Structure 1
Amino acid sequence: MELRQLEYFVAVAEERSFTRAAERVHISQSGVSAQIRRLERELGAELFDRSARVATLTVAGKAALEHARAALAAAGATGRAVGEVTGLVRGRLSAGMVVGCTVTPLFEALAAFHRAHPGVEISLLEDGSDRLVEGVRTGALDLALAGTAALPEGLETLTVVSERLVAAVPADHALAGRPRTTLAELCAHPLVCMPPGTGVRTVFDRACAARGLEPAVTLQASAPDAVADLAARGLAVAVLSASMTEHHRDRLVTLPLDDVETPALLVLVWKSTSNPAVRELLAHARRAFAAPDAG
């Protein structure tokens, strides 16, 4: 008894026709008939009543149908189980990370995955958030950590950070004495920002456009620490998210932006049809980002 015989048997039973079953399994009708006859000889009973135009199950056929379906399902499950194990024993996993951002929990997740599955080759690409998300969409990347102003449509996401924007200035700046500021006040000064395509910049640009403001972005840097450092030296007012200024509190005063309510997001993105290696890495990532010292 072979699995293909059971497949053909189930196809004929469900289609109630040898002709339609042959079309379904993509072989000739004579081939289906021959394999069903062979199966019947092995079982010692006829499975179909062939006296009518419609193929109907005999009593023996009815008794065999559910077992045949179960055998095919078990064979499929076996193949999937082996495929998942194989995917975690050897293979490739491509991850992406937003440029200029050192995200320790992601590194912890990659390291834990590597220890558990050393046979899987890991690659890590640093790029702009827009290109990272597009890489996940096209399949060039399996998973990416990207900054964005809104959750990407059509992809699975895990929000790691959701923060409002702040302005950061040195203590002797004209804005430093205020408890908070607005976009209009901010745009009266030269600005240093992260480049277009990052989550923080996207939120900022959209907020300015919605109010008809044209900010004077005179300096750009990919790394948040570089943006903060340039601001601390008095070259321009920095636009960052709240946590990006934490390590510079001794040099910078942070001012919440009253009229920018949309948060900047840092999210893990992946496809819902991701392979077993991605699902395993995600399990490590969830634990790493949930750890008390993940921030």
Structure 2
Amino acid sequence: MSNLVRKLDLTSLRLFVAVCQERNIARAAEREAIAPSAVSRRIAEIEHVIGQPVIHRESRGISVTPIGEAVLRHAQEVLAGIERLEAELSRYASGAKGTLRIVGHMSSIVQFLPEDLAAFKRVYPDVDIQIDEQTSSQVLRSLLESDFDLGFCNRVPGMEQVESLPYRHDRLYLAVPSRHRLARMAVVRLSDFAGESLVGLGQDASLTQLLEREAARLGASLRAKIRVSSLDALCRMVHVGLGVAVVPQHSGELYVDTLDLALIPIEEEWALRESFIVFRQRGGLTAPAAALVDFLARR
């Protein structure tokens, strides 16, 4: 009886369990949509491997031998394990389980992704999510060169190399200390604050590049005396009076009640931005990534 793993196959075990449950070869064959002779042959093969009878064939059905009862118990455990494996694999295939690697720009991570991913996790609690924060240009480069599944970024040069879907819109506001001369204005334009001391993000941030492009169109140069790496730091620098800053609306609103800030909408077309979900190929997405893309598209 050595090497049972090699000699007993799952189909034979499944048919044997069916015979034991039905107590009749013909009924088991009908249930499993197979010829009774094929079922009998499978049972005979099990008995040959074990060297003992597992059933007694009787005029009105079968009875299970003591050794057959032992085989039945273990066969049911094996088949139940396979069913559990199948269920778990189906959860992976549907995106319900696995690891999702995301790279996103600062605005999406601060403003939108926390709530969206929390809602996604309520539906897919077994998906593990890893998030890396980078600038929009870096997001695109990382998506193409690394093993990230999805990216979130503003429109940047090179987006034609990947597939993309619209994600969210946001509007840019000017953040100023509450006693600043611009604080009482209903709206501002770039020309209103181009001469102010500016607190900015890093040189490669998409927001920085946008502001510099728009300033160049005006024939102005921005005075960014301080550069920081986060929207939190940006707002805090404004709070202590070190300058003014351009911030996404939702990011500024997180701090307006706790810091000495006034937020003023920038009334220009460039201040309304669109962010995108980017990926290499829709058909090549992992199951968790495809599940998130579909989830966000529905939202």
Say yes or no: TM over 0.5.
yes
**SS in structure 2 of the partner of residue 174 of structure 1:** coil
Percentage identity across paired residues of the two chains? 20
Is 1:271 the counterpart of 2:283? The answer is: no
User: Deviation of residue 110 (structure 1)?
Assistant: 6.1
- What do the CA deviations read for 1:32-55 (whole angstroms, capped 9, x no partner)? xxxxxxxxxxxxxxxxxxxxxxxx
Q: Using the alignment, how far apart are the partners of 1:247 and 1:85 within structure 2?
A: 36
Q: 1:173 to 1:88 in 2, by over 3 A?
A: closer
The residue type equivalent to 2:213 in the other structure is R
1:111 match:
121
User: 1:182, 1:89 → 2: CA distance?
Assistant: 47
Instruction: Confirm or deny that 1:224 pairs with 2:231.
Output: yes
Instruction: Return the alpha-carbon distance in structure 2 between the equivalents of residues 202 and 84 of structure 1.
Output: 42
Structure 2 match to 1:261: 270
TM-align CA RMSD: 3.2
Q: 2:169 aligns with which of 162, 167, 174?
A: 162
Whole-Å Cα distance in 1 between the matches of residues 193 and 275 of structure 2?
A: 24
Give the deviation of 1:83 after TM superposition.
11
TM-score, normalised with respect to structure 2: 0.57
Distance 1:225 1:218 in 2: 17
> 2:293 matched to which residue of 1?
282
Structure 2 unmatched runs, 5+: 1-88
Identify if the C-alpha distance between structure 1 residues 286 and 260 changes in structure 2 by more than 3 Å, giving closer, same or farther. Answer: closer
Q: Deviations over 1:136-172 (max 9, x none)?
A: 2335321012244689224232333322322111221
Are 2:228 and 1:191 aligned? Answer: no
Alignment CA distance shift 1:258-1:122 (3 Å): closer
Query: What's the CA shift for 1:179?
Result: 2.1
Residue 173 of structure 1: CA displacement?
0.7
Q: Report how many aligned residue pairs link the two structures.
A: 204
State the distance in 2 between where 1:84 and 1:107 align: 18
Equivalent residue number for residue 96 of structure 1: 103
CA contact (8 A) 2:150 2:278 kept: yes
C-alpha contact (below 8 Å) 2:165/2:276 kept by paired residues: yes
- The answer for unaligned runs of 5 or more in structure 1 is 1-81, 291-295
- For 1:235-254, list aligned pairs within 5 A: 235-250=242-257, 251-254=260-263
* Aligned counterpart in structure 2 of residue 135 of structure 1, from 142, 147, 152: 142
SS where residue 248 of structure 1 aligns?
coil
Distance 1:111 1:203 in 2: 34
Shift of residue 233, structure 1, vs aligned partner: 1.6
Larger Rg: 2
> Alpha-carbon deviation of 1:216?
0.6
